[in-house]
Amino acid sequence: MYSRFMRTPHRRIVPPAGESNALRDTSATARGGVTEFEKMPERSESGTGRPETNGPEIGPGDLGSRIDRGEDVLLIDVRERDEVALGAIPGAVHVPLGDLGRRIDEVAPEKSRRIVLYCAVGMRSLYAALELGRAGYTSAVSLAGGIEAWKRGGHPVTEPRPEARRLLRYDRHVRIPEIGREGQTKLLRSRVLLVGAGGLGSPAAIYLAAAGVGTIGIIDDDVVDESNLQRQIIHKTRNIGMPKTESAEETLADVNPDVCVETYPERLVSSNAREIVGRYEVVIDGCDNFGTKYLVSDACVLAGIPDVLGSISRFEGQVTVIQPRVGPCYRCLYPEPAPPEMAPSCADAGVLGVLPGVIGVLQATEAVKLLLGIGNPLVGRLLQYDALEARFREFRVRRDPACPVCGEEPTLKSLEDYDAFRVDDACRS
């Protein structure tokens, strides 16, 4: 539910998602004219967005009885094509609301014909019935409650097409112009690797799966411990003692069965990093030690793959994007690891349980942006979050021309293990 504080006052009605198209005659609009089908009714006193008048409506039960008796009723479905693919009233003629003004003479040449219009919940079709009445159609009514009320009444609908049922899950993505069908299809074909199934990897994995990222790889050699459950939301109490990769796979299968989860119950090291990283389009680094962070960054730079890096401690977290040949790498930010006393593990320092959710979701967001090629990723920008102050700060970071990995004359051509950089990783983020 949206809070009332999120609503923007507006004189004109802006129907909710799924009820969004104004009545319009597209042929007249193309000529620059405005017809009655473009005019939206004013907001009602009740604030529901329905016209002040009760309007010409028919109930699902009444309509069903008339159809069963064989009465001549012209059913017009004014929803969009994607909605119709999810199921329609048998025998209905599909005329999208935006085309109704142009096609109504063709579909119903006799203005005395009994017409029942319907949409999802009865709002668009009620507007349409009112306008048809003004246009001289004497028996045009709207199905009260739309097809949703029709289905609740146990009346028949056509079977949804398989591809439509799948897209229903991602309907709110498809409605965003920057994503649409093409973008969602791209996500379903995308591959993301999560390094670590801990505090950061948990929310990132769940949201990537929900978003429809088709293949998610997870590498982690740890098992679920009871102390993990305060922040690692992908794991459940019943999974204590289970490998984290297996536990995460189980959860993601429940979140979205469309997603293929590839698990690596092992540690990322120099001997496997390049091969594993190279299988994916984007890497999300949720590990908790300097050694692995250097290794992941180096592997991504050498493979030309973006690395979305996150880290957390106590009440603070940070995230940035390493884009090879575009922005700085991890070594540019931290040429040398901090001494252990300056970078205690969260097993020693602790971490606010909800903090990984903030940073992990930011990492997932950056990954989706990179996969879709939209927005402005955090390349060359370090975003820092202070939970106690509820404050974000952004720092500009630059590529080091002398960096041994991404500099002008790189010297590091192969991967190395960085055990000397390791800190206690009992926390596993």
Q: How confident is the model at residue 349 (pLDDT cuts 50, 70, 90)?
A: confident
Report the greatest alpha carbon distance in the chain: 86
Cα gap 280→368, rounded to integer Å: 13
Predicted local confidence at residue 175, as pLDDT: 86
| Half-sphere exposure of residue 375: CA atoms within 13 angstroms, side-chain side | 14
- With the C-alpha atoms ordered 84, 110, 125, 103, is the resulting torsion angle positive or negative? positive
pLDDT at 229 over 70: yes
Q: For the chain, which residues make up each domain, given as ranges?
A: 9-169, 173-421
Task: Order the strands of the 115-118 sheet from edge to edge.
Answer: 57-58, 140-143, 115-118, 74-77, 93-94
Residue 364 clears pLDDT 60, i.e. is over it: yes
Looking at domain 9-169, which CATH architecture does it have? 3-Layer(aba) Sandwich (3.40)
Which amino acid, one-letter code, is at 194?
L
Q: Which residues pair with 218 in a beta bridge?
A: 194, 263
Fold exhibited by the domain 173-421 = Rossmann fold (3.40.50)
pLDDT at 313 over 50: yes
- Tokens representing 398 are 């630059």
The CA distance from 282 to 177, in Å, is: 23
Structure tokens of 55?
């309007």
Residues 399-416: pLDDT tens digits?
Answer: 999 999 999 999 988 898
Q: Write out the two tokens for 54.
A: 């009760």
Whole-number Å distance between alpha carbons of 322 and 409: 18
Work out the mean pLDDT of the chain and round it to a whole number.
Answer: 85
